[in-house]
Amino acid sequence: MGNSIQDPTVAGYMGAADRQLFYCYHAPQGASTRPFGVVLCPPAGREYVFAHRTFRQLATRLSRAGFPVLRFDYFASGDSAGEDDEGSVEQWLDDIASAIDTFRNHTAGARVCLAGFRIGASLAALHAATHQDVDSLILWDPVISGERYVDGLLADHEHFLRLRLWREKTAMGADGVREIVGFLLSPRLESGLRSIRLDTLPAPARRALLMSSSPTADPERFGEHLEALGMQIDRQHVAWPEFWTGNEELDDVLMPPARVLQAIVGWAQGQEVPA
Amino acid sequence: MNEHALRFGDNGNLIGIYTATSHPATRPGIVLVNSGVIHRTGPNRLYVNIARQLAAAGYPVLRFDLSAIGDSSPRGDAVSFEKSAISETSAAMAALGTHSGATGFILCGICSGADIAFLTARDNPAVVGAVLINGRGLHSVTDNSGDDGIETHASTLGSDASARYLLKSALFNPKSWRKLISGQVNYLELLRLLGGELLRPMAPRESRPDSAPALHAAFHQVLGRGTALLMVYSEGDLALDYMKLMFGKEIKKFAAYANFGEVHLPGADHTFTPRHSRDELIATLRNWADARFTH
């Protein structure tokens, strides 16, 4: 029997019995107690498969820096309840609200920084724009245009089909559900995702970190939009290959992007005064 | 939803999701073993769907993360990956037994999950069945010689392009994910490694790997003990080349065992990306388990 490293993470389910969501709560480590904690909003579909390890590492690093952290799986994704084709933007926004409630139950009402990656960042911003329970945001390579995002997912699936060369194309189901490289895109989810336009969003919080790691990211216009709304925006670009894609040219780039995570934790540590 | 997060293993370092049956379980418990570094939801959320559908059919299921994968913590000792994986899979069986009352277990895994499932079945007589899906390291999960052998062999057999691509894909390349787990990955080193492989002459390999006789013996041991084995192959998967490499024509002898089965799934890729292939795999598992374990 080996000597395992003790892990204080609480893993469990939250929410209504028929819509239970899996979550992990990472209690803050060490002596320091930060004035807020972080709720992590993951990406969706295949991007989450590639990013899961990174999300766990981000949660661990933040908790070691003294922040309470909660991460979770959206309905119909990961370990949460729901069939593969039952996800929707409306449901996932409700899930973020549930996650914040659960986080507050664990922390006796700590203030919330909502952090998201890719479509998770977009959902975090959408939630914050319509709720008053978010102090600050960390938006890491957010999906600015839902139209372009969905078109990209469908193009990825076409690329996958081309790799399979002689095989038949997968047809759309009678229910209108399409396949996107191992995951499903229902008409409802597609419609909700396509409607996302972060560059028309009202101010979601008083301050935000706009983190970009993708070499192709262009967050400038979005950052300017948020600044024009009176938000305090910190922009950081820490280049890293797009590890969340299945790009075969990346081969073995599976190590979490340490420099990006370090920059995010550093920014959070600098936000000692509640907004 | 009838699912619960469990902690088990040394100091509770392993995390798994237990899917309970609606009635007291009378059938074997099923343990799903990580496929590469993909966490316990499985590729394309396949393990979640296997667990829910098999539990609805009366089989309690535990899908879990080996140490340092998904949400399970790394080990603090120097035990080899193969030993720890076998030990942790046995711990998962014990945890499932505690919660469900099951005393017999079916192990199921894709790719490296198949390898670990077979090695655990070899060592643990509580395993009454194993479903080995696209496994290509059944002889050892710490010996890469088989991978090199398959690659050479596959090139001479003209294996399909997508399977060869997946061999190189990060999530399923044992050379990368084993290093990842042990924290040895270096991006530039990996590029050099892959570049070297691509430049290596593709000479046909005529002799069997040294590990083949031991694998023969292990198959006969497991089957002779009465453990049911179901080999599942996606169309054109390198696992087929691996089996040809390790067994040659001898592989036909296993068909003499009543508890040996083999299924080929046309239109499925290594990770069951097309939706219909996932549905077919789950139906195959269900039918096989019902035929073997419903009395």
Please judge whether A254 and B75 are an interchain contact, meaning their C-beta atoms are less than 8 angstroms apart. Answer: no
Test the A interface: residue of B1, B35, B50 with most A CBs within 10 Å: B1
CATH number of the CATH domain containing B285: 3.40.50.1820
Residues A29, A61: Cα–Cα separation, whole Å:
10
Query: Which residues form the domain of A133?
Result: 10-144+197-269
Query: Which residues form the domain of B180?
Result: 3-293
pLDDT of residue A242: 79
Test the A interface: residue of B165, B275, B277, B278 with most A CBs within 10 Å: B275
Q: At what angle do helices B161-168 and B238-247 cross, to 10 degrees?
A: 90
B64 pLDDT above the threshold of 50: yes
Q: What are phi and psi of B231, to 5 degrees?
A: -95, 125
Any domain includes A152:
no
Q: Residue B203: pLDDT band by 50, 70, 90 thresholds?
A: very low
Q: What is the pLDDT of residues B214-248, one digit of tens each?
A: 999 999 999 999 999 999 999 988 899 889 889 98
Q: How big, in percent rounded to 5, are the helix, strand and coil portions of chain A?
A: 40, 20, 40
b/e map A32-58, b = 16+ CB within 10 Å: eebebbbbbbbbbbbbbbbbbbbbbeb
Chain A residue nearest residue B176, CA to CA: A252
Sign of the C-alpha dihedral computed for residues B11, B14, B20 and B26 taken in this order: negative
Considering only CB atoms, which chain A residues are within 8 Å of B187? Answer: 252-253, 255
Please judge whether A251 and B190 are an interchain contact, meaning their C-beta atoms are less than 8 angstroms apart. Answer: yes
Any domain includes A49:
yes
Please judge whether B17 and A79 are an interchain contact, meaning their C-beta atoms are less than 8 angstroms apart. Answer: yes
- The distance of A227 to chain B (nearest Cα, Å) reads 37
Considering only CB atoms, which chain B residues are within 8 Å of A257? Answer: none
- The distance of B8 to chain A (nearest Cα, Å) reads 11
Any domain includes A204:
yes
- Contact between A91 and A75 under an 8 Å Cβ cutoff? The reply is yes
Residues B35, B21: Cα–Cα separation, whole Å:
24
Q: What is the pLDDT of residues A27-84, one digit of tens each?
A: 999 876 788 999 999 999 999 998 999 999 999 999 999 999 999 999 999 999 999 9
Chain B residue nearest residue A159, CA to CA: B162
CATH number of the CATH domain containing A236: 3.40.50.1820
Please judge whether A20 and B1 are an interchain contact, meaning their C-beta atoms are less than 8 angstroms apart. Answer: yes
Chain B neighbours among A 230-269 (CB < 8 Å)?
Answer: 246, 248, 250-255
Read off the tokens for B291. Answer: 């035929």
pLDDT of residue B178: 42
Considering only CB atoms, which chain B residues are within 8 Å of A163? Answer: 161-162, 165
A160 contact B CB<8A: yes
A16 contact B CB<8A: no
Residues B236, B154: Cα–Cα separation, whole Å:
10
- The distance of A65 to chain B (nearest Cα, Å) reads 18
Tell me, yes or no, if the pTM score tops 0.90: no
- Contact between B239 and B154 under an 8 Å Cβ cutoff? The reply is no
Total domains in the fold of chain B = 1
Considering only CB atoms, which chain A residues are within 8 Å of B275? Answer: 170, 173, 179, 184
For each of chain A's 275 residues, which pLDDT tens digit applies? 344 455 678 999 999 888 999 999 999 998 767 889 999 999 999 999 989 999 999 999 999 999 999 999 999 999 999 999 999 999 999 999 999 999 999 999 999 999 999 999 999 999 999 999 999 999 999 999 999 999 999 998 988 888 765 555 666 777 899 999 999 999 999 999 999 999 999 988 999 999 998 876 666 788 999 999 999 999 999 988 877 776 655 544 467 889 999 999 999 999 965 54
Q: Residue B197: pLDDT band by 50, 70, 90 thresholds?
A: very low
DSSP B257-291: STTEEEEEETT--TT--SHHHHHHHHHHHHHHHHH
How confident is the model over B271-284, as a mean pLDDT?
A: 95
How confident is the model over B54-62, as a mean pLDDT?
A: 97
Total domains in the fold of chain A = 1
- Contact between B237 and B9 under an 8 Å Cβ cutoff? The reply is no
